[in-house]
Amino acid sequence: MKKTIVYTLVISLVTSACQQRFLDLAPKAAYTDNTYFQTDAQFKQAVTAAYAPLLDLMNNDFYVSEMRSDNTFYQSALANRGTALVFRENISDFKDGATNSYTAAEWQYLYQIISRANIVIARLKTASGLSAASVNSYDGQSKFLRAFAYFKLVRLFGGVPLFVEPVKDANGAFKPRATVEQVYQQIITDATDAIQELNAPAKFPQTGEATKGSATVLLADVLVTLQRWTEAETLLATLPAMGYGLQADYASAFLPANKNGKESLFEVQYLDGTTTGTTPNPLSFNFLPRSTNTTLLTGVAINNSGAGGVNTPTPDLISAYEPTDKRLDASIGITEGTYNASNLFTFQAVKSVVGYTTPPAGRVAVPYIKKYLHAPLTALTGSADNFPIYRYAEALLLLAEAQNEQGKSPLAALNAVRNRAGLLNAQAADQATMRQVILHERRVELAFENKRWYDLVRSGTAITTLNAFGEKIKAQANYLPADGRIVTPFRLLFPIPAAEVGLNPLLTQNPGY
């Protein structure tokens, strides 16, 4: 009897041990959160993953940051009223609602950056075996990315839910909105930490990672937005010592060959090709009229009929360039051709925008963004052009602004930018005039760099400028809806995506939507 009991016990022990092994299956083609975040290389990869959503972000950012301004509009697509097209137009026309999918995508990718940064920041706190240099680098890059994302969010949507720890379960995913002040506080803390932890570029061209310079200009931009001029000026003054400077000529600042060069403070990194993980930049041909064949401009037979026809430079912007400004020809081109009844363009000629008047009979002329288009492209999927987030030229203009607002002369910084564009020095003027001069300089220098909407809002000129512009552009493009381009104060903030509000009872919608 005793023997039986012993045998039974032994057998049940053995089988229960087997049982556990039999049922504990971990994936072999991926890590789990228990097995990852052990080595330096794994943390480096986790930081890389936090950069990745920038690529998706740039595919949406120009809708909310550039097309909502007087810099660009869209080409007619009246033959197709599918929501994919209508939603794009709605943002530009100030007719967008909370269900707009491009606003929702902007929101989602910004928060994806934040979430991945949160994972790194939290895991670093308990990591062992990493050098102090690694911890500083990974924490600093993550905090830069988190600050960058929240800075965009707070300007687009106002006070947003503030996630600074990784979400671990369903309950942790539902948060109410923080106040605008709380969000800015977090941005400043993160950017300050990042400046502390990151190094200045070790060499030019840089790697493409965020540096002390990136964090510095980001914080300066935040401080300028908050009108903390003195602090901004102090910060911006540290940049030249890090090796930054202007490229000799404006157009070359955007050449793929000059990626991450001395003018670059931070840019989104693209590569062309078709190998796994390659992310070519599709924007250059999406900014062309919708067509089944863009060869004339891109050098390869790209069909951009789905995503094209957006971010077309406005006549208003073209006329904003001073007569000898080299930046006009570097930024904008004109293409001639014809539209068919399906709103598809046939490219027939490429012309310089400088001095361009009217197209020959039977053709239409469409301006396009030339700055990021370096034909011939090597693949149908896109180019190797990086997308600038901060250039040294902008740092100079931020400095000029901070100086002007403190009653100091902004001319040195301002004229450095103007001279590079082939323009004469700006003359000294009173503070208010100079404020307009700097705003105008930002418009042409930073055209299509997704700055214009924020500049208009923070300068308090968005409503008057854009309403006046709306009247003009509606007269120029008869396909624009008559009730569009009417800007009322509530439109200075975008609606919180309806799906978020619908899902999360703690969230409140912005007024007016």
Task: For residue 463, give Cα distances in angstroms to 249, 360, 490, 499.
Answer: 34, 36, 10, 28
**Which CB sits closer to another protein, 115 or 459?**
115
**Which CB sits closer to another protein, 302 or 426?**
302
Tokens of 140: 């600093």
Least spacing, CB of residue 42 vs another protein, in Å: 7
Q: Which residue has the tokens 């090796």?
A: 243
Cite the DSSP H helix spans in 259-367.
283-286, 295-298, 315-318, 326-331
**Which CB sits closer to another protein, 25 or 241?**
25
**Which CB sits closer to another protein, 95 or 440?**
95
Least spacing, CB of residue 482 vs another protein, in Å: 7
**Which CB sits closer to another protein, 31 or 419?**
31
**Which CB sits closer to another protein, 126 or 319?**
126
Least spacing, CB of residue 105 vs another protein, in Å: 9
Least spacing, CB of residue 214 vs another protein, in Å: 13
Q: Rounded to whole angstroms, how far apart are CA atoms 131 and 141?
A: 16
**Which CB sits closer to another protein, 9 or 503?**
503
DSSP character at residue 292: S
Cα angle 90, 149, 171; round to 5: 95
Query: If 0-12 CB within 10 Å is exposed, 13-18 middle and 19+ buried, where does residue 23 land?
Result: exposed
**Which CB sits closer to another protein, 45 or 461?**
45
Least spacing, CB of residue 172 vs another protein, in Å: 7
Task: For residue 256, give Cα distances in angstroms to 56, 269, 382, 393.
Answer: 20, 10, 13, 18
Least spacing, CB of residue 18 vs another protein, in Å: 9
Least spacing, CB of residue 454 vs another protein, in Å: 21
Q: Which residue has the tokens 């977090």?
A: 186
Q: Count CA atoms closer than 13 A to 184's CA, side-chain side.
A: 16
Of 419, 453, 400, nearest to 325 by C-alpha is 419
Query: If 0-12 CB within 10 Å is exposed, 13-18 middle and 19+ buried, where does residue 351 land?
Result: middle
**Which CB sits closer to another protein, 194 or 223?**
194
**Which CB sits closer to another protein, 89 or 445?**
89
Dihedral sign (CA 47, 49, 50, 54): positive
3-state secondary structure of 63: helix
Least spacing, CB of residue 435 vs another protein, in Å: 31
Cis peptide before 376 (omega within 30 of 0): yes
**Which residues lie across from 366 on neighbouring strands?**
335
Of 438, 451, 444, 437, nearest to 388 by C-alpha is 451
Least spacing, CB of residue 370 vs another protein, in Å: 22
Least spacing, CB of residue 323 vs another protein, in Å: 34
3-state secondary structure of 337: strand
